[in-house]
């Protein structure tokens, strides 16, 4: 898996025009705020950079029935994008994947109380850093929803995220529980996706990825190559200069 993120706050939109598609420029022109324009253009730049790393320089984009984009000319390659405030994130791999990045800020914990499962809310309440825990669950839940292809078409009460910090392995064990159609209760899914979650950008952002395949991060890995790095290593920060140079 390739997992990248970049800061687009200093992106020169005029300088980047040559590197993005006409469709993206037309979409960006409809935005009022400069920040939204930068995020939109930055997302395509980061995606093109990521695809270039695996030798794809002529992507043809299409959309599935739920509106999730995919590569029509490379259907075995899966990708997903996310953005928040000043940052854009991109994941590319050989199986369905979802990524989410969020700026950590003051959180309305009532949102967790009303929309998260009781076990999730209890975990947040018991955390010494409640806002950080809230956004950890937020990005994990959204990355899973995006991985399924349903996004927010999936009801929040159809699944829950279980974080087991008692594991002696490095990092927490993250699993998903889904609703049993027969009993109506939540049970651990038979086939568990892999999750990864990190604090990035000076601990000001939370980034999560969810995939049906392995999420081992290797800077020069390819979707069909055997991962050989340690699981849950930090995602790679890509500079604007590198983005523009390779696109």
Instruction: Delineate the domains of the chain, giving CATH numbers in brackets.
Output: 2-246 (3.90.470.20)
Q: What average pLDDT score do residues 184-205 get?
A: 91
- Give the pLDDT of residue 246: 79
Cβ atoms of residues 101 and 87 within 8 Å: yes
Tell me what pLDDT residue 101 has. 98
Does residue 222 register a pLDDT over 60? no
Is 229's pLDDT higher than 60? no
Distance, in Å, from the CA atom of 134 to the CA atom of 110, rounded to the nearest integer, reads: 11
**Per-residue confidence (pLDDT) for residue 218, from 0 to 100:** 52
Tokens of 107: 């959180």
pLDDT digits 0-9 by tens, 46-88: 999 999 999 999 899 888 888 888 999 999 999 999 999 999 9
Task: Using the predicted structure, report yes or no on whether residue 6 has a pLDDT greater than 50.
Answer: yes
In the block, residue with structure tokens 């995919």: 70
pLDDT at 144 over 50: yes
Identify the CA nearest to 222 among candidates 83, 108, 92.
92
Measured distance CA(92)–CA(82) in Å, rounded: 12
What percent of the chain shows pLDDT beyond 70?
Answer: 90
**Cα–Cα dist 222/158, whole Å:** 33
Residues facing 178 on adjacent strands: 159, 187
pLDDT at 109: 85
| pLDDT given at position 152 | 79
Q: Residue 100 forms beta bridges with which residues?
A: 208
Rounded mean pLDDT, 223-247: 68
Q: Could you read off the pLDDT of 15-56 as tens digits, one per residue?
A: 898 889 888 999 999 999 999 999 999 999 999 999 999 999
pLDDT of 231 above 50? no
Summary mean pLDDT of the chain: 87
More confident residue, 216 or 187: 187
pLDDT tens figures, 98-140: 999 999 998 778 888 888 888 999 999 999 999 999 999 999 9
**Full-model pTM:** 0.89
- Report d(CA 38, CA 16) in Å as an integer: 10
Q: Does residue 171 surpass a pLDDT of 70?
A: no
């Amino acid at each position: 898996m390739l997992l990248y993120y970049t800061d687009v706050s200093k992106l020169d939109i005029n300088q980047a025009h040559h590197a993005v598609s006409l469709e993206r420029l037309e979409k960006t022109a409809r935005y009022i705020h400069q920040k939204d324009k930068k995020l939109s253009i930055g997302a395509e730049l980061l995606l093109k950079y990521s695809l270039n790393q695996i030798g794809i320089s002529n992507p043809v984009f299409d959309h599935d029935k739920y509106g999730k984009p995919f590569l029509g000319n490379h259907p075995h390659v899966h990708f997903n994008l996310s953005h928040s405030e000043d940052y854009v994130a991109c994941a590319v791999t050989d199986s369905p994947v979802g990524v989410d990045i969020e700026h950590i800020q003051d959180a309305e914990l009532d949102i967790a109380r009303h929309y998260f499962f009781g076990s999730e809310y209890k975990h947040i309440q018991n955390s010494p850093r409640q806002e950080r825990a809230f956004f950890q669950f937020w990005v994990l839940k959204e990355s899973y929803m995006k991985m399924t292809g349903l996004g927010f078409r999936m009801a929040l009460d159809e699944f829950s995220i279980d974080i087991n910090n008692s594991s002696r392995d490095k990092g927490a064990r993250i699993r998903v529980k889904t609703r049993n159609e027969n009993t109506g209760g939540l049970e651990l899914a038979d086939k568990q996706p892999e999750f990864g979650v990190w604090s990035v950008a000076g601990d000001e952002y939370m980034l999560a990825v969810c995939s049906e395949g392995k999420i081992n991060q290797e800077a020069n890995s390819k979707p069909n190559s055997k991962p050989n790095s340690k699981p849950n290593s930090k995602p790679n920060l890509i500079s604007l200069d590198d983005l523009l140079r390779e696109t």
